Structures are given as structure tokens and as C-alpha cells.
Amino acid sequence: LGTRIAAQCGPPAAMDVRGAIRGLFQAALLREPTREELGRLLEFHSRRGELQRESADAANPALPWIAMARALLNLEEFFTRE
């Protein structure tokens, strides 16, 4: 899921991060993120990107999206849809 979102977004410099987060959230939880959730995920994406740039995995721009997808897929809301 994270790899798919990264591929759809294109290169990091041209990426619409807010739109991509909304798409990822919609794919995982079938709803739009709240303003608070969007803010937290923007921060999460930024921090993961910083960690990635400092690591040996800097060549893979999908890694922050993969981490975010894993986080969303591990939410209780994902497992307990009504």
C-alpha cells in the first residue's frame, strides 16, 4: 500500500503530501482523516523522511509511505470496522 501511494505521488519534490495522506487514509480506513490525524501524519511523514535521509536507505522514497501504511493498518479501527 505504501509503495503504491509513493508511485502515484511521483518524485518527492513534486509530491502532494497532504493529498497522498488522504488517499492512503481513504484506502486503509475508508474515510477522510480528521484535521488532527492529518497533522499527526504530516509530522510522521516528515520525521520518517528525515530518518531515511540520514540512513543508508536514502535511495528509496517509498519508505516513509510504507511506514505510514503499516501504522494505519495496525490501528484498531482497521481491524474493527463495523
Mean residue pLDDT of the chain comes to 86
Cell of 67: 511506514
Question: Is 6's pLDDT higher than 90?
Answer: no
How far apart (Å, rounded) are the C-alpha atoms in residues 82 and 72? 17
Q: What pLDDT is recorded for position 33?
A: 96
pTM of the model: 0.78
Q: What pLDDT is recorded for position 70?
A: 93
Q: What pLDDT is recorded for position 32?
A: 95
Give the percent of the chain with pLDDT over 70: 90
Other beta carbons less than 10 A from residue 73's beta carbon: 15
Cell of 8: 502515484
